[in-house]
Amino acid sequence: MARNHSNSEWLRLPRRPRRLRQGSAIRALVAETEVAPRGLIAPLFVRESATQEAEIASLPGVRRFLISELLQEAAELHGLGIGAVALFPALRSVRKDLRGSAALDPKGLVPRAVRALKKEIPSLAVMTDVALDPYTPHGHDGIWNAKLNDVDNDATVAVLRKMAVLYAEAGVDFVAPSDMMDGRIGAIREALDAGGHVRTGIIAYAAKFASAYYGPFREAVGSKTAQGYLDKRTYQLDPGNRREAVLEALLDEEEGADMVMVKPAGPYLDIIREVRESVRVPVAAYQVSGEYAQIHAAARAGWLDLERTRDESLIGIRRAGADVILTYFARAAAEAWRRRQS
């Protein structure tokens, strides 16, 4: 028998797990988790005018694109094998009002961007958020009722239904209600079907927590909650609530969601796992702006290695059970994937 132990004394061990870690070929052979570009969704910000700034200070490497620039970016992402893009509008404040009227404009920024994308790159899947925060001056996801001092659930759902139909008409593959109103998935499904949009899917932001990690996103779309308004805790979930998160996912599945989402991702890996085991539809996880910003900031300070931390953060989310990951790292991760394949 060949003996390759370096010295003559060795332990008689029946189990030596390190055998499977000996070299890169064996490690690759037994690797359990990988993050392929096909399961990534790239969030993309769109601006309406060249007078708006493109750079976003708290999101290094992320830009607000004009529609012409968006087409170029999306084509490159598609070429890298990225599964889908998610569009978020950055409107000028003159367009915002308390009813979120710009959200229902068929010639609005999002419908125009969707039409252009679907015309140029028909095989790229496109999803759009259904919520009013980019369209209201107070940054809330729905219609504010001053008497209630809260977002009005049912008045908001009535607007979201119209918004979803508008996006379906523009050609999106998925609408993604990110507002956390009760009953909106069923109501939106019904409105889509009534309009003949039976093929338009719904990705429900099901377990969406009231998180501090959304800060940079709110800078990007200008939706920081205005002075004098409450925060979003009357609709987004308490970060400590696990059972309630699973309940939300089950309700959205029941109401007809084609996928359910957990958001944020990194601090909520247990929720991703539990939701994965509770529903039968694909589970998406959103690695949000603050998670991305945090890794970039530490890398800039020289405290963490950007590429390795990026990949590890995504592996963790995938391992927790996410079938699909929305991440601002989509492009960089897909490029790294391509380098590894060649």
Name the residues annotated as catalytic.
208, 263
- Distance (Å, whole) CA 285 – CA 115: 26
CA distance 42 to 45: 10
The span from the CA of 271 to the CA of 246, in Å, is: 7
The count of residues in the chain is: 342
Which spans of this chain sit near ligand PBG (rule: CB under 6 A)? 129, 131, 133, 141, 178-179, 214, 217-218, 288-289
Nearer Cβ to ligand PBG, position 153 or 289?
289
Q: 209 has which bridge partners?
A: 237
Q: Closer to ligand PBG by CB, 131 or 207: give it.
A: 131
The answer for residues whose C-beta is within 8 angstroms of residue 325's C-beta and 6 or more apart is 35, 39, 40, 41, 265, 284, 285, 286, 287, 314, 317, 318
Q: How many CA atoms lie within 13 A of 321 on its CB side?
A: 19
**In which residue are the tokens 């929720």 written?**
271
133 or 252, CB closer to ligand PBG?
Answer: 133
Q: Least distance to ligand PBG from the beta carbon of 323, Å? A: 19
Residue by residue, DSSP assigns 124-177 as SEEEEEE-STTTSTT--SS-EETTTTEE-HHHHHHHHHHHHHHHHHHT-SEEEE
Shortest Cβ 232–ligand PBG spacing (Å):
6
Q: In angstroms, give the least distance from the CB of 81 to ligand PBG.
A: 22
Residue whose C-alpha is closest to residue 99's, from 176, 147, 47, 156 = 156
With contact defined as beta carbons under 8 Å apart, do 194 and 218 qualify?
Answer: no
> In sequence order, what are the beta bridge partners of 206?
none
In angstroms, what CA-CA distances link 73 with 40, 80, 114, 151, 330? Answer: 15, 11, 14, 35, 12
By C-beta, is 179 or 311 nearer to ligand PBG? 179
CB of 219 to ligand PBG, least distance (A): 10
Q: Least CB distance from residue 185 to ligand PBG, whole Å?
A: 15
At its nearest, how many Å lie between ligand PBG and the CB of residue 289? Answer: 3
Nearer to ligand PBG, 203 or 280 (CB): 203
Of 28 and 297, nearer to ligand PBG (C-beta) is: 297
